[in-house]
C-alpha cells in the first residue's frame, strides 16, 4: 500500500480535482418524512442541531494531534509524520482489519453503493447463493433506500463508507463525526440497523481518524493490500482483460500459499462496468474452491451491528457463506502479465472519484425520469 506521488501526477490530479469540484457542488438537502438530511456528496456541516447533539454524546479529548492532510486526495507527508500510522502512504494498518479471519476465504465486499446498477449485482449474488458486505455511502442510501432494504432482505451485510466519500485524514474530528453519524442515521432510517463496520474512502486512515471512529463504535475494514484491489474502478481505462489477468495472478498466488488467512478484495457496485466485472471475478475464486463470505462470517461476529438500532440484529445463519460447488471454469489466459505500472495512488483516487461523479449523475437522471 505504499504509494507516493510524482509532481506530474499531482498536477494531473489537481486538474481533475478542479473538474470534480465543479461537478459536485452541494445539492440541496434531501428530505424524507420527518428527516432533513444534509446535501448529498458534500461534507455535512458541523453546526447543525443533529451534529451538535452527536458531538455532545462523545468525548474527543485525547485525540491524536496529527495535522490534517491537505489536497484532494491528500498528498503523502514528506517527511512522514511520526506515529501517524497512515495506511495509504506508510502501509501501517494499526488494528484495522486487513484480512478475512477464516482460512481459504474471500471476504466479499462492495463499496460506493447503492447505485442504479446494484440490482444487477444483487440478482447475480442471489443466483449464486452468495452474501457480501456492502460499504454504503450515506448520500446514496437516501437516494436508494429500497435497495438497502433489499440487501438486508437477501442476507447481505451492511457497513458504512461515510456520507460523502471524502478522504477522512483531510477532515476535522468533528467533520468525521458528521460523516459517520449522518450515514449511520440514513442506514438506520432505512433498515433499523446501526452500523458497526466501516471502510475509509480511498483506504485513507491514520491514528487520528481511528481514534474518532473508535469513539463512535466503528471497526475499520481495509482490504488485503494492492494484490487484492481488483482494479474494477479502473475500467474502462484499464481493459477488462487486464483486470481479469491481474486478479487471476493474485488468486493463483493465494491458492499456492498456505491460505491460513482469508483476504478482503476491493470491489464496487458503482456502475455497470464494476458490476459486470464482479460476475467474472467471482467465478475465478469459485474455480479455485475459495469460500466466499461477508465480513461477519470472516470475523466470526454474530453481532455485526451496534446496539441501539430498532431492528433485530440478523444472525450469521441468515447469510449463505459458501461458493457453489459447480463453479464455471475460468476463461482468463493464465500467465498474462499483470500491469502494475499504473497503480499510482493519485490515479486510483481520482478515477474512483470520477466514477462516483458519473454514478451520481446517473442517479439524478434516474430520479428525475
- Binding segment toward Zn ion, per CB under 5 A, in 107-115, 125-133, 215-223, 327-335: 107-115
Are 163 and 179 in contact by the 8 Å Cβ rule? The answer is yes
> From the CB of 162, what's the least distance to Zn ion, in Å?
8
The reply on whether position 112 binds Zn ion by CB under 5 A is: yes
Taking the least distance from each CB to Zn ion, the nearer of 99 and 198 is 198
Q: Which candidate in 72, 117, 268, 269 is catalytic? A: 268
Are 165 and 126 in contact by the 8 Å Cβ rule? The answer is no
- Asked if 59 is an active-site residue, the reply is no
> From the CB of 202, what's the least distance to Zn ion, in Å?
7
> From the CB of 112, what's the least distance to Zn ion, in Å?
4
The reply on whether position 222 binds Zn ion by CB under 5 A is: no
CA angle 66, 68, 74 (to 5 degrees): 125
- Asked if 222 is an active-site residue, the reply is no
Taking the least distance from each CB to Zn ion, the nearer of 81 and 117 is 117
Return the residue of 72, 84, 96, 111 that touches Zn ion, per CB under 5 A. 111
Taking the least distance from each CB to Zn ion, the nearer of 72 and 111 is 111
Which x/- pattern over 230-269 shows residues binding Zn ion (rule: CB under 5 A)? Answer: ----------------------------------------
> From the CB of 346, what's the least distance to Zn ion, in Å?
16
Distance (Å, whole) CA 330 – CA 283:
7
> From the CB of 201, what's the least distance to Zn ion, in Å?
5
> From the CB of 164, what's the least distance to Zn ion, in Å?
11
Are 179 and 137 in contact by the 8 Å Cβ rule? The answer is no
* Best CA proximity match to 217, nearest among 122, 306, 145: 306
Residue nearest Zn ion (C-beta atom): 111
- Binding segment toward Zn ion, per CB under 5 A, in 109-117, 220-228, 232-240, 271-279: 109-117
- Binding segment toward Zn ion, per CB under 5 A, in 98-106, 187-195, 198-206, 245-253: 198-206
- Binding segment toward Zn ion, per CB under 5 A, in 41-49, 63-71, 86-94, 112-120: 112-120
Are 98 and 264 in contact by the 8 Å Cβ rule? The answer is yes
Give alpha helix (H) positions in the chain: 7-23, 49-57, 87-90, 118-128, 138-141, 145-153, 173-191, 207-215, 240-255, 272-287, 295-298, 345-368
Residue for grid cell 475494514: 221
Helix (H) or strand (E) holding 306: strand 305-306
Q: Which candidate in 111, 189, 222, 229 is catalytic? A: 111
Taking the least distance from each CB to Zn ion, the nearer of 112 and 267 is 112
Distance (Å, whole) CA 231 – CA 244:
9
Burial of 96-123, coded b for 16+ CB within 10 Å and e otherwise, reads bbbbbbbebbbbbbbbbbbbbbbbbbbe
- Binding segment toward Zn ion, per CB under 5 A, in 106-114, 204-212, 295-303, 304-312: 106-114
Burial of 323-356, coded b for 16+ CB within 10 Å and e otherwise, reads beeebeebebeeeeebeeeebbbbbbbbbbbbbb
Taking the least distance from each CB to Zn ion, the nearer of 142 and 359 is 359
Taking the least distance from each CB to Zn ion, the nearer of 316 and 357 is 357
How would DSSP label each residue in 65-113? -PPPP-BTTBPPPSSPPTT---HHHH---TT-B-S-SSTTEEE-EEEEE
Are 347 and 124 in contact by the 8 Å Cβ rule? The answer is no
- The residue count for binding Zn ion (CB under 5 A) is 3
User: Which residues belong to the active site?
Assistant: 111, 268
Footprint on this chain of Zn ion (rule: CB under 5 A)? 111-112, 201
Amino acid at each position: 500500500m505504499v504509494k507516493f506521488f510524482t509532481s506530474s501526477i499531482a498536477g494531473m490530479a489537481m486538474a481533475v480535482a478542479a473538474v470534480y469540484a465543479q461537478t459536485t457542488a452541494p445539492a440541496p438537502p434531501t428530505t424524507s418524512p420527518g428527516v432533513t438530511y444534509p446535501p448529498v456528496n458534500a461534507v455535512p456541516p458541523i453546526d447543525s442541531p443533529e451534529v451538535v447533539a452527536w458531538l455532545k454524546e462523545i468525548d474527543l479529548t485525547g485525540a491524536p494531534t496529527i495535522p490534517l492532510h491537505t489536497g484532494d486526495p491528500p498528498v503523502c507527508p514528506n517527511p512522514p509524520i511520526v506515529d501517524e500510522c497512515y495506511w495509504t502512504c506508510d502501509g501501517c494498518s494499526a488494528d484495522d482489519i486487513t484480512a478475512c479471519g477464516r482460512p481459504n476465504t474471500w471476504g466479499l465486499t462492495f463499496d460506493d453503493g447503492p447505485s442504479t446498477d446494484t440490482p444487477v449485482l444483487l440478482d447475480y449474488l442471489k443466483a449464486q447463493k452468495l452474501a457480501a458486505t456492502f460499504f454504503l455511502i450515506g448520500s446514496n442510501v437516501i437516494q436508494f433506500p429500497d435497495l438497502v432494504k433489499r440487501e438486508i432482505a437477501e442476507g447481505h451485510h451492511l457497513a458504512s463508507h461515510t456520507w460523502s466519500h471524502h478522504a477522512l485524514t483531510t477532515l476535522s474530528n468533528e467533520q468525521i463525526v458528521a460523516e459517520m453519524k449522518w450515514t449511520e442515521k440514513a442506514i438506520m432510517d432505512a433498515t433499523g440497523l446501526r452500523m458497526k463496520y466501516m471502510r475509509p474512502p480511498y483506504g485513507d486512515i491514520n491514528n487520528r481518524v481511528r481514534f474518532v471512529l473508535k469513539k463512535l463504535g466503528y471497526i475499520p475494514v481495509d482490504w488485503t493490500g494492492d494484490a487484492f484491489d481488483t482494479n474494477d474502478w479502473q475500467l474502462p481505462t484499464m481493459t477488462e482483460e487486464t483486470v481479469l489477468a491481474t486478479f487471476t495472478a493474485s488468486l493463483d498466488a493465494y491458492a499456492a500459499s498456505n491460505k491460513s488467512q482469508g483476504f478482503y478484495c476491493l470491489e464496487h457496485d458503482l456502475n455497470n462496468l464494476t458490476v459486470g466485472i464482479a460476475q467474472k471475478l467471482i467465478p475465478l475464486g469459485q474455480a479455485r474452491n475459495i469460500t466466499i463470505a461477508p465480513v461477519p462470517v470472516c470475523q466470526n461476529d454474530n453481532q455485526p451491528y451496534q446496539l441501539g438500532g430498532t431492528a433485530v440484529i440478523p444472525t450469521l445463519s441468515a447469510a449463505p457463506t459458501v461458493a457453489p460447488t459447480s463453479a464455471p471454469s475460468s476463461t482468463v489466459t493464465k500467465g498474462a502479465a499483470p500491469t502494475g505500472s499504473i497503480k499510482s495512488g493519485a490515479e486510483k483516487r481520482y478515477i474512483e472519484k470520477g466514477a462516483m461523479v458519473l454514478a451520481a449523475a446517473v442517479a439524478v437522471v434516474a430520479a428525475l425520469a
